[in-house]
């Protein structure tokens, strides 16, 4: 089960080397995103597309808010 993290935890986990993925559509990502994030929209989250991620490192996913 993926672990939920909050605002007090994310920067520490990023500093430890986690990859950051925004799962919103590309237009939203291009308008504004967290530094260092890559964009893999949920609708395109296939094995092929996620092959660019390093499986040895943790991954943090995020969208717009709690929804």
Partner 1 sequence: MSPRAACRLERLGFSKVYDFVPGKLAWLAMGWPREGTAAAVSNAGEIARRGTPICALDDRIADVRATVLEAGRDVCIVVSPEGVVQGRLRGRALAETPEATAQQAMELGPTTIRPSERLAPLVERMRRRGVATIVVSDLKGRLVGILYREDAERTLEAARP
Smallest gap from Cβ 38 to partner 1, in A, equals 11
Asked if residues 59 and 53 have their Cβ atoms less than 8 Å apart, the reply is: yes
- For residue 38, give the nearest of 46, 26, 48, 47 by alpha carbon: 26
One character per residue 3-22, x = contact with partner 1 (rule: CB under 8 A): xxxxx--xx-x----x--xx
Question: How many angstroms separate the CA atoms of 24 and 27, rounded?
Answer: 8
Binding site for partner 1 (CB under 8 A): 1-7, 10-11, 13, 18, 21-24, 29-35, 37, 40, 42, 45, 47, 50, 53, 55, 57-67
């Amino acid at each position: 089960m993926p672990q939920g993290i909050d605002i007090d935890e994310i920067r520490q986990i990023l500093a430890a080397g986690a990859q950051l993925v925004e799962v919103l559509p590309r237009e939203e990502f291009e308008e504004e995103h967290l530094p260092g994030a890559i964009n893999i929209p949920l609708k395109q989250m296939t094995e092929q597309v996620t092959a660019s991620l390093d499986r040895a490192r943790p991954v943090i996913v995020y969208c717009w808010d709690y929804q």
